[in-house]
Structure 1
Amino acid sequence: MALPLLSMLLLECGLRLFHYGYDLDLFIEYPPDKNYLFLNPDASKRYFIDQKNATTGNVEPFRKEKAPGTRRIFVLGESTTIGYPYFHNGSFHRWLQYRLAHTFPDQHFEIINIALTAVNSYTVLGFAREVVDFQPDAVLIYTGHNEYYGAMGVGSTEKLGGSPALVNGILRLRALKTLQLATDLYHKALGSVTSGKAENDGTRMQRMVAEQQIPYQSELYQRGLEQFKANIGKVLDIFTEHNVPVFISNLVSNERDLKPFVSFSENNTRYPEDYEGNALSNYNLGMQEFALAHANASRKYFSKARDLDGLRFRAPGEFNTILSQLAADHANTHLVDMQGVFEAHSPGGIIGNELILEHVHPNLEGYALMSNAFYEELKKAKFIRPEPTREISLAMLKRDMPIPIIDSLAGAYKVANLKRSWPFNAALAQDSVKTETFEERVAFDLAYRRISWENAMDQAYSSYIESKSYLEAREIVEALILEKPFDNALYSKSAMLSGQLGDERRALFSFQKAFGIAPSFETARYLFVLFLKMDEPEKAIPYLDYAIQNNASGFNLTPMRALVQEVVALRARLPADSSDVSVLNRIASTYYRMDNRDGALRYARKVLRLNARNEAALQLLSVLGQPQ
């Protein structure tokens, strides 16, 4: 009886010895720097039977050893969570990353998005089991729309069975090399049998769908609900057990501007008496009520049309009920009301194409709102405590967020291509595509994978620098910073471009980030000069001290430090009497002696506002070549 088990054990050891198959660990070492980890490109293969459907996620390295003071946040979910169709800086977690970095410049946040396309709650659960070993301070989750057709979903071609317990048990065993070998042999045998037959080479979306008709409240429909509830319940159990706060969002989808994909009893075109079970009839009634500005009635019909849609690419409303119940039942779990946020920003409170591109994926405005919803919930839970004077508002975020036009256009091209394929070709109007400008041509190549994202950014940066479009060039650099937040050279490049644009505050922020990653004499010099120009001598001193200790210039900076200390002492006297002209003149004179012309001019003008005939201030203005 032991012989088969011993044979299996020997086979497993042999396969491991010769490195057969895939390493399915969630994180692996980052090749450029062994001190970092990143999402294993093979991690998703555990969840896909047909490996050609397996997907890869972001490359967002994080330290093996979490640095003191670092706040580490993991993001779990599916295609919306990873930011389809923009990816990179279009995703809500990058909006959040940018906002946290600028609201808390002295703190460090690691936001690691491990979402994947074409997966569902099975993958979220599997990843959650491993994430707890990597010191998360919080976890953000947005998942649910792929529950029926994502990997291991009850209506998917990629499924192992109907019981969540059975499927999760098999998924754990798939790390065994023996099972990987058996799977490979099965697919090779299947390939030889089906060779010569037409293979379904449609989109991944089409290949993943086994059941195109899943009626409302049918057995398969109910199994999808049970699968979602069981898996997400276990996810929250895991994080509760490890005392990790979870911010889980309910779901949003396009209800007003997307007709149902599959409507049963469609022969009844004139609203049959049994319209209760007809998705298209409910949708048409919703359109009528919406046209009459009957918000409550239209919302009821649109929601019912979504739930009755037999092709389940949009999660039914019951999923949001499940999420609310699970969040309420788990300590340290916070529900993010994304549905309420999107409805509040939609005409008549009905979510449509103002925020959603096709069926479930937000546009850039939608992703900004998603990030804001998570941000506000983090504030509500006191996970973050921003100072009102330093906080980046949503309006400021939308103004400053570095999303190059190439990314925006590439997203539009991807969606236009998606709408031309099943199942959207009959459900959504098709968009026109233009490729006339430089950005349009690069974006088109990016959307159709003719070039990499990094290559697209390089082309754009070179073009903008050549044309002296420094604002656009800085946007490219800041987009790259969000992709590679540990690259100090990118921060330095952004700071230099900010200097070209006369944006000294942004230059200061970027130089500080660069110095925090890799301190250097040159960066310290830029920092203390900028702080002095901005009349913040106290903040200049640490960088001046570093420059003195690591002096690579040969200049004697010690006298300057004495002058800076003199300014600090003089400024300390001002709160008692801000109209003391003699103190103001001395500060102006000291700034001039250290060649800080901006500081000298600022204080000379303060004096003249108090005494327009002050001789010392007038003389300093003359020396500075400024009109009196």
Structure 2
Amino acid sequence: MNKTRFHDYGTQAALLQKKRMLVIKIISILFPFMLLGGLEAGLRLFHYGHDLRLFITAPDNNDYYILNPDASRKYFSNQEIATTGNRELFKKVKDTNTLRIFVLGESTTIGYPYFHNGSFHRWLQYRLMHNCPDKRLEIINLSLTGVNSYTVEGFAKELLPYQPDAVLIYTGHNEYYGCLGTGSTDKIAGSPFLIHLILQLREYRLTQLMANTLQQLFALKPSNPEGEGKTRMELMVAEQEIPFGSATYEKGMAQFTANMDNTLRLLNEAQVPVFFSNVVSTEKDLFPFISITPDSTKFPGFTPLYKKGEQLLAEGDSTAAQNAFLAADNIYPVHAGCNYYLGTLLFQKGDTTNAKAYFDKARDLDGLRFRAPSRLNLIILELCSKYKNAHLVDANAAFEANSKGHIIGNDLILEHVHPDLKGYAILSDAFYKAMKQQGLIKVSAAEEMTFAALQQNMPLTIVDSLSGAYKIAKLKRSKPFNTTSITSDTTLISTPEEQLAYEVAFRHTSWAAAMEQLYQGYNQQGNLSKAGTIAEAFVQEHPTEAAWYEIAANYNGKENNTAAATFYFKQAFALSPSFKSARMLFVLYLQQDKTTEALPYLDYAIANNEQHLNLAPVKTLLMQVLQLQRAAAKDPGNVDLMNEIAERYFKMGNKPGAELYVEKVLQTSPGNKAALALQSQLKKV
């Protein structure tokens, strides 16, 4: 009995000891994680580091989200060159009649060097706003300069919970020198798995603390004077020579393929339509940045022939120069410069088909990979074919169709990859057509704003175009465009607009401040047309603010642009219903003889009559006009009915409406006494 009890106590003690040891082991294992978790919680509690979520609540309006200005920090190892994007609002609670479109990409996608209303998504926004006036448009551009497919993929993952109706993508030029590019100074060595792991770890404040500590330690070292004054483009280039087909070249293609495949797969699974554009770059007007020189021992005859071709070309003997370059190309067919010369000479002779082949090859062989090789566009085509919800936007074909000899050059491209304003308009048109073809946009031909009308009416100013030109002029004074030591600014400023554009280009003032100054100046000069253009430009910049729509409407009204005034007042009313806009709308609709459209706004004005106007007689007369119009529709030749409509319009003070019906009567019955009498009265008003 005692032995049994002793045995039981011994067994229980041993089991208890084992449990204690197990608990100690578990605590020992979990302690580092608990410590790290506690540190992470503490850092967040004291707001250390950056919140890297894609969207944050808009500072000025809790009902809206905007792109988080710190979202890019996740992708840039060097925080000093991290870029920020647009601040475009979209509602936290999506309205039922909303078309919400997110835009992903890089510097071309955000509209460099114009930004704001020069970017392709603003051209698209303006057109859709007019073609789909009953839709609430939310076009949110999430693009950043200096990024590539890693950022596109990362942003795509985060935007899915925000109910996109479509995603537009334009990317590909930065796979080598954008952040995390295979030839960039801001790259992470290792596999794509490791890169994605590090990107996830950067979201933690503890990781940010460690990175900041290391960065501060490195900052203690003497600064490198070679980096001072360089553009972001120069600072991000690590490998200047990336030969065609090299390991780094192939890594870039593989990186783009994998990241964009993941992006399209995610969006396809979520059944979100994706419009993925191929990329464009200049071909015939940019000599390759770097031509990989052949080994003189393996290809001894190339260099003498190549130099001979250059000399003959300088002397004006194009035929002999072409023969020399052809001979050189037969020896070493992968020299970018030689292919470019052959393309140029053939283009000059009118042989655009063969010229294009040489130009394409010259771009692909360019060792400094600021332009995406043609293979990337083939990858985009293959990826779009792979997924049901992915649709190719053939921007390259659109640019070629608008280029001399169907070869893209500086008539649409500013330097190497960024379009001019016409180019951005063409890019927007390519997306518009693709979206329309897939049924995302439904508009009748009669109501549709044509591409020609878009180009004519887009609210851009001379400051927009000039500031872009100044930025490009500065860019071309730096490497790799300029290989000389001459970098002086020779820009001549002679007008207030040029001065403002210069200040915007070099960040001495903001675009908004420049537009405001320009706006005030045009008003003082009495130039209502140009002041109205700026008002419409601010509508594009602030599409959620009803006040700018009303201002734009008033300018169009002063310029007798009745249709445009009606459009802007209607948009203002939809955003923020008011007696003022309702009153203007029923007046404008009546002036256009659109009685059915006028009625609901008159009813609203009566119900919200803050100015205590006597609108009841107007409503009575309007109902009589509606009844008379229904009768006239059954008896279109009845001039008595038309005279009565004209009389009712005259009584309510609608002179344009009355004149319209008097004219109709006199066309049918030139001597009609009632119409002539009313016409006489109208002339006195």
* TM-score > 0.5, shorter chain as reference: yes
Counterpart-to-counterpart distance in 2, 1:464 and 1:88: 20
Please state if 1:592 is matched with 2:650: yes
Counterpart-to-counterpart distance in 2, 1:498 and 1:41: 36
Deviation at 1:500, TM superposition (A): 1.3
Counterpart AA for 1:195: P
Counterpart-to-counterpart distance in 2, 1:544 and 1:22: 51
Deviation at 1:139, TM superposition (A): 0.3
Counterpart-to-counterpart distance in 1, 2:332 and 2:139: 47
Which of 545, 563, 585 is the matching residue for 1:527? 585
Deviation at 1:299, TM superposition (A): 0.8
Counterpart AA for 1:10: G
Counterpart-to-counterpart distance in 2, 1:289 and 1:18: 66
- C-alpha distance after superposition, 1:473-505 (max 9, x if no partner): 011111111010011111111111111111111
Could you tell me which residue of structure 1 aligns to residue 20 of structure 2?
none
Which of 223, 240, 254 is the matching residue for 1:212? 240
Counterpart-to-counterpart distance in 2, 1:119 and 1:529: 50
Could you tell me which residue of structure 2 aligns to residue 42 of structure 1?
70
Which of 5, 12, 15 is the matching residue for 2:43? 15
Could you tell me which residue of structure 2 aligns to residue 117 of structure 1?
145
Counterpart AA for 1:232: M
- Secondary structure at 1:444's aligned position in 2? helix
1:459-538 matched pairs, under 5 angstroms? 459-538=517-596
Could you tell me which residue of structure 2 aligns to residue 190 of structure 1?
218
Could you tell me which residue of structure 2 aligns to residue 244 of structure 1?
272
Could you tell me which residue of structure 1 aligns to residue 614 of structure 2?
556
Which of 315, 318, 332 is the matching residue for 2:389? 332
| More displaced 10-residue stretch of structure 1: 15-24 or 568-577 | 568-577
1:164–1:231 CA contact under 8 A, matched in 2: no
Could you tell me which residue of structure 2 aligns to residue 260 of structure 1?
288
Q: Please report the TM-score for the alignment, with normalisation by the length of structure 1.
A: 0.98
| More displaced 10-residue stretch of structure 1: 183-192 or 79-88 | 183-192
Counterpart AA for 1:461: Y
Counterpart-to-counterpart distance in 2, 1:296 and 1:618: 68
Deviation at 1:579, TM superposition (A): 1.2
Which of 352, 355, 360 is the matching residue for 1:303? 360
Change (3 A) 1:528 1:196: closer
Which of 621, 624, 627 is the matching residue for 2:679? 621
Please state if 1:612 is matched with 2:640: no
Deviation at 1:432, TM superposition (A): 6.1
1:304-383 matched pairs, under 5 angstroms? 304-383=361-440
Please state if 1:158 is matched with 2:215: no
Counterpart AA for 1:78: E
Counterpart-to-counterpart distance in 2, 1:621 and 1:341: 53
Deviation at 1:555, TM superposition (A): 2.0
Counterpart-to-counterpart distance in 2, 1:244 and 1:162: 32
- Secondary structure at 2:633's aligned position in 1? coil
- Secondary structure at 2:460's aligned position in 1? coil
- C-alpha distance after superposition, 1:336-369 (max 9, x if no partner): 1111111111111110000000000000010000
Counterpart AA for 2:75: Y
Which of 465, 488, 502 is the matching residue for 1:444? 502
Which of 221, 225, 228 is the matching residue for 2:253? 225
Counterpart-to-counterpart distance in 1, 2:371 and 2:192: 21
Could you tell me which residue of structure 1 aligns to residue 331 of structure 2?
274
- C-alpha distance after superposition, 1:231-256 (max 9, x if no partner): 00000011001000000000110110
1:80–1:361 CA contact under 8 A, matched in 2: yes
Could you tell me which residue of structure 1 aligns to residue 108 of structure 2?
80
Change (3 A) 1:432 1:295: farther
Deviation at 1:3, TM superposition (A): 3.2
Of all paired residues, the percent bearing the same amino acid is: 49
Please state if 1:53 is matched with 2:111: no
Change (3 A) 1:195 1:221: same
Please state if 1:32 is matched with 2:69: no
Counterpart-to-counterpart distance in 2, 1:609 and 1:384: 40
Counterpart-to-counterpart distance in 2, 1:228 and 1:448: 33
Please state if 1:603 is matched with 2:631: no
Counterpart-to-counterpart distance in 2, 1:45 and 1:432: 36
Counterpart-to-counterpart distance in 1, 2:552 and 2:223: 55
Which of 28, 31, 37 is the matching residue for 1:3? 31
Deviation at 1:199, TM superposition (A): 5.5
Deviation at 1:576, TM superposition (A): 2.3
Could you tell me which residue of structure 1 aligns to residue 597 of structure 2?
539
Counterpart-to-counterpart distance in 2, 1:277 and 1:27: 46
Please state if 1:422 is matched with 2:479: yes
Deviation at 1:197, TM superposition (A): 4.4
* Greater Rg by CA: 2
- C-alpha distance after superposition, 1:169-218 (max 9, x if no partner): 211111011111111011111111x2254361211111111111101000
Could you tell me which residue of structure 2 aligns to residue 398 of structure 1?
455
Which of 168, 181, 201 is the matching residue for 1:173? 201
Counterpart-to-counterpart distance in 1, 2:466 and 2:498: 7
C-alpha RMSD of matched pairs (Å): 1.5
Counterpart-to-counterpart distance in 2, 1:315 and 1:70: 35
Could you tell me which residue of structure 1 aligns to residue 24 of structure 2?
none
Counterpart-to-counterpart distance in 1, 2:226 and 2:93: 47
Counterpart-to-counterpart distance in 2, 1:432 and 1:579: 70
Counterpart AA for 1:262: I
Paired residues, number: 625
Counterpart-to-counterpart distance in 2, 1:603 and 1:347: 51
Counterpart AA for 1:141: I
Could you tell me which residue of structure 1 aligns to residue 314 of structure 2?
none
Could you tell me which residue of structure 2 aligns to residue 456 of structure 1?
514
Counterpart AA for 1:372: D
Could you tell me which residue of structure 1 aligns to residue 626 of structure 2?
568
Counterpart AA for 2:660: R
- C-alpha distance after superposition, 1:495-548 (max 9, x if no partner): 111111111111111111111111111111111111111111111110100010
Q: Please report the TM-score for the alignment, with normalisation by the length of structure 2.
A: 0.90
Deviation at 1:165, TM superposition (A): 2.1
- C-alpha distance after superposition, 1:43-84 (max 9, x if no partner): 000001110110000010111111111010000000000000
Counterpart-to-counterpart distance in 1, 2:223 and 2:333: 46
Deviation at 1:163, TM superposition (A): 2.0
Counterpart AA for 1:25: R
Unpaired segments ≥5 residues, structure 1: none
Counterpart-to-counterpart distance in 1, 2:217 and 2:202: 19
